[in-house]
């Protein structure tokens, strides 16, 4: 009876050891899986930060293009005003020239 009890205890202990080893292996695999998830999340955060930086740079570039377009538009308006003034001045000179011609 004692030998049977010892043998049963040894078998139960072996089974318990195997169960613990299996549990430890499952825990290790779970930890590895969580480490993989953590790495993936970290990579996603880094990617999102890079995307945000790119968006900010693009917004700055768009702002510069917009400002340049406004500057060109303002320059075109000033040129049109200058052309109108030149036209008016030329017409006025023609009128004066005709008036002088009639005096002679």
Q: Using one digit for the tens of pLDDT, what is the confidence trace for 14-57?
A: 999 999 999 999 999 999 999 999 999 999 999 999 999 999 99
What six digits make up the tokens of 35? 């480490």
d(CA 2, CA 35): 48
- The helix (run of H) or strand (run of E) holding residue 101 is helix 2-103
Domain boundaries, the chain: 1-103
Mean pLDDT of 92-100: 96
Give residue-wise pLDDT tens across range 51-94. 999 999 999 999 999 999 999 999 999 999 999 999 999 999 99
pLDDT value for 70: 98
Predicted pLDDT of residue 104: 81
**Which pLDDT value is given to residue 1?**
87
> What is the per-residue DSSP string for 5-53?
HHHHHHHHHHHHHHHHHHHHHHHHHHHHHHHHHHHHHHHHHHHHHHHHH
Model-level pTM?
Answer: 0.58
């Amino acid at each position: 009876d004692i030998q049977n009890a010892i043998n049963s205890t040894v078998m139960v202990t072996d089974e318990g050891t195997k169960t613990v080893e299996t549990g430890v292996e499952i825990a290790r695999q779970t930890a590895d899986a969580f480490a993989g998830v953590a790495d993936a999340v970290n990579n996603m955060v880094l990617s999102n930060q890079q995307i945000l930086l790119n968006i900010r740079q693009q917004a700055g570039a768009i702002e510069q293009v917009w400002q340049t377009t406004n500057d060109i538009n303002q320059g075109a308006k000033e040129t049109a005003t200058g052309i109108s003034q030149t036209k008016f001045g030329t017409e006025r000179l023609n009128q004066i020239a005709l008036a002088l011609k009639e005096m002679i």
